[in-house]
Structure 1
Amino acid sequence: MKNQWDIDMKNDRIVAYLPNLFQEEVDKLVEMIKKDSPGKVIIYTTDKDSPKLKDCGLSLEAQMSGFFAGNNAYIYTCYLNEERSLSKSSLENIEVLTAVRQDKKDLAICSHDYPISLIKDNEFEDLANLYRKVFPVYPTNVYDPTYLRESKDTNYIFIVAKDKGKIIGAASAMDTGYQSAEITDCAVDPNYRGKNILHFIIMELENALLKRGINNAFSITRAKSVGMNMTVKRLGYHFEGTLTNNCIISSGYEDMNIWTKNLVKNDGC
């Protein structure tokens, strides 16, 4: 498994996926922190490598089961900006998780009336319009049809729901390159919410991932969003921690919850 680095200037952070944390990687991390002074550093690594990160001043913030080809990823972070380390919604986050954990809804009785399918090449403008309508701010450029099309041609799967040919709901699965995938870019037109559309879109994404030999999925959800956290919890995802002020979405930097699912052991509702 290859190590991957990302200097994410838009979200003022360095994100690295380091299944093999050699000393040269540690030295590189120290140099990047000195050079770029990011507000936040996020490192995904394995448990055996974690002491090296602790020595660099990072601490465990969350984990992600199955991320590295079925093995757990441990997410270590540090904050070079003190304000970035302080959650603006910690109490609200707790209230959301409490409500989600108390939910007992049975998805087996849910239904919907809209066709769900893989996106077609001529539908990316319509998909971009949906994202423009739903997200005033977003960490990636989902407003650009060209960006979306290029994503689909590289490591993304897009599933959409339509009403009379118009896209009214969508989500994607991003192949991490580590035999795991992120369920992301989830959106439903406000006029169609409350109809369980997203549940069925994600279930189709999970089926598509299994066909590609990807058995572990995860979702990084806005900690303040009752709806999105409820959706993945009902679909059998398990909460594994909160990333403070992780990225810019909707109202600025927001806390994000980690949810994971083994698609083979828990592959449906």
Structure 2
Amino acid sequence: MSDTIETFGHSLLQHGKEGNRIYLMKFDKRDEKVLLKYLDTLANKENYTKIVAKLPFSHKNSFKDYGYEQEAVMPSYYQRHQDCVMMSKYLTEDRAKIQNASKLEKIIQSVQKKAGEPPSALPGLWRLRRLTENDVPALAQIYQTVFQSYPFPIFDEQYLLETMADNIQYYGVFTSDGLVAVASSETDPAHLNSEMTDFAVLSEYRGYQLALHLLLELEQQMKQQGYRLLYTIARSLSYGMNSTFAKAGYSFGGTLFNNTQISGSIESMNIWHKEI
């Protein structure tokens, strides 16, 4: 079951039982006072165990007063005028416990040594391009193959079509077998930033650095379109994805612990960011 995405005033939030959390995706200062109370009310009603909020640094203290703690930061997120902070509130002791802390730290330290490593060239007949409506069935199939579950309905062709027509740009790598690797850029034109997300590579095509090729192409396209801050929220135990962003010169911004339900379990997520 996919999470619910709803508006509250001028803000946008996502919540659901699989991740057992609320994610304040877009915050509007006009909603602040009533929104903070609503998040608590919704969490209590649904027995959620975590609330995570993405908001401007200038509103950090208001959330801190409500029991939130900063877990990550993305500099110059709002049109380069203000940083973004990721604030989290844990509602049970179990949700707050950090698992595999030493392993998480080792991955971060290891991948940071790979900054600037370029990918090898794509094999001659392979092609990378932006996806269109005609590619949606193959796109949905890749997501269904790679992920057991996901916090957004990326298995649904209608959802993919709607987001493709709205604010998400999808790119893919094609071989003689068809579409074998995909990624997307979820753009925020109002704040000139974009999330590099939804990376998926078929298992038989791993080892060709396709995620890095996709990331670099997305980055080039975003730069041409005037975006200034790129970021990702990557699975913290995925050495490959964290390495991909480190190789592309992204900076580590912090970890959202026990944050996101992917492929059947709740995982901690690392923030990586880059100004372009």
TM-score by length of 1: 0.89
The aligned residue for residue 21 of structure 2 is 13
1:121–1:31 CA distance, 2 compared to 1 (3 A): closer
Aligned residues: 260
Shift of 1:80: 1.1
CA contact (8 A) 2:116 2:246 kept: no
CA distance in 1, matches of 2:179, 2:25: 34
* Residue in structure 2 matching 1:57, options 58, 63, 67: 67
CA distance in 2, matches of 1:17, 1:68: 14
**Any unmatched runs of 5+ in structure 2?**
1-8
* Residue in structure 2 matching 1:145, options 157, 182, 186: 157
Shift of 1:165: 5.8
Q: SS at 1:8's partner residue?
A: strand
* Residue in structure 1 matching 2:179, options 157, 167, 173: 167
Q: SS at 1:101's partner residue?
A: helix
CA distance in 1, matches of 2:14, 2:235: 22
The aligned residue for residue 202 of structure 1 is 215
CA distance in 2, matches of 1:85, 1:125: 39
* Residue in structure 2 matching 1:242, options 255, 258, 272: 255
The aligned residue for residue 101 of structure 2 is 90
Q: Which stretch of the first structure deviates more once superposed, 39-48 or 110-119? A: 39-48
CA deviations 1:74-108 (Å, max 9, x no partner) are: 1111111221111222222112112212336731x
CA deviations 1:176-217 (Å, max 9, x no partner) are: 342111000001111111112111111111122122221111
CA distance in 2, matches of 1:147, 1:20: 25
CA deviations 1:145-189 (Å, max 9, x no partner) are: 221111101110000000026101110000134211100000111
Q: Which stretch of the first structure deviates more once superposed, 45-54 or 215-224? A: 45-54
CA contact (8 A) 2:104 2:236 kept: yes
1:104–1:207 CA distance, 2 compared to 1 (3 A): closer
The aligned residue for residue 41 of structure 2 is 34
CA contact (8 A) 1:179 1:214 kept: yes
Q: SS at 2:29's partner residue?
A: coil
Q: SS at 1:36's partner residue?
A: helix
Same amino acid, percent of matched pairs: 26
1:35–1:158 CA distance, 2 compared to 1 (3 A): closer
Q: SS at 2:121's partner residue?
A: coil
1:107-186 alignment runs, 5 A limit: 107=118, 110-113=120-123, 114-164=126-176, 166-176=178-188, 177-186=190-199
CA deviations 1:48-97 (Å, max 9, x no partner) are: 22221121111111111232222210111111122111122222211211
CA contact (8 A) 2:201 2:210 kept: yes
1:165–1:149 CA distance, 2 compared to 1 (3 A): farther
The aligned residue for residue 219 of structure 1 is 232
Q: How large is the RMSD of aligned CA atoms in angstroms?
A: 2.0
Q: Does residue 1:44 correspond to 2:54, yes or no?
A: yes
CA contact (8 A) 1:3 1:16 kept: no
CA contact (8 A) 1:245 1:255 kept: yes
Q: SS at 1:57's partner residue?
A: coil
CA contact (8 A) 2:116 2:248 kept: no
Tell me the amino acid that sits aligned with residue 203 of structure 1.
Answer: L
Shift of 1:45: 2.3
Tell me the amino acid that sits aligned with residue 86 of structure 1.
Answer: K
CA distance in 2, matches of 1:132, 1:18: 27
CA distance in 1, matches of 2:233, 2:262: 12
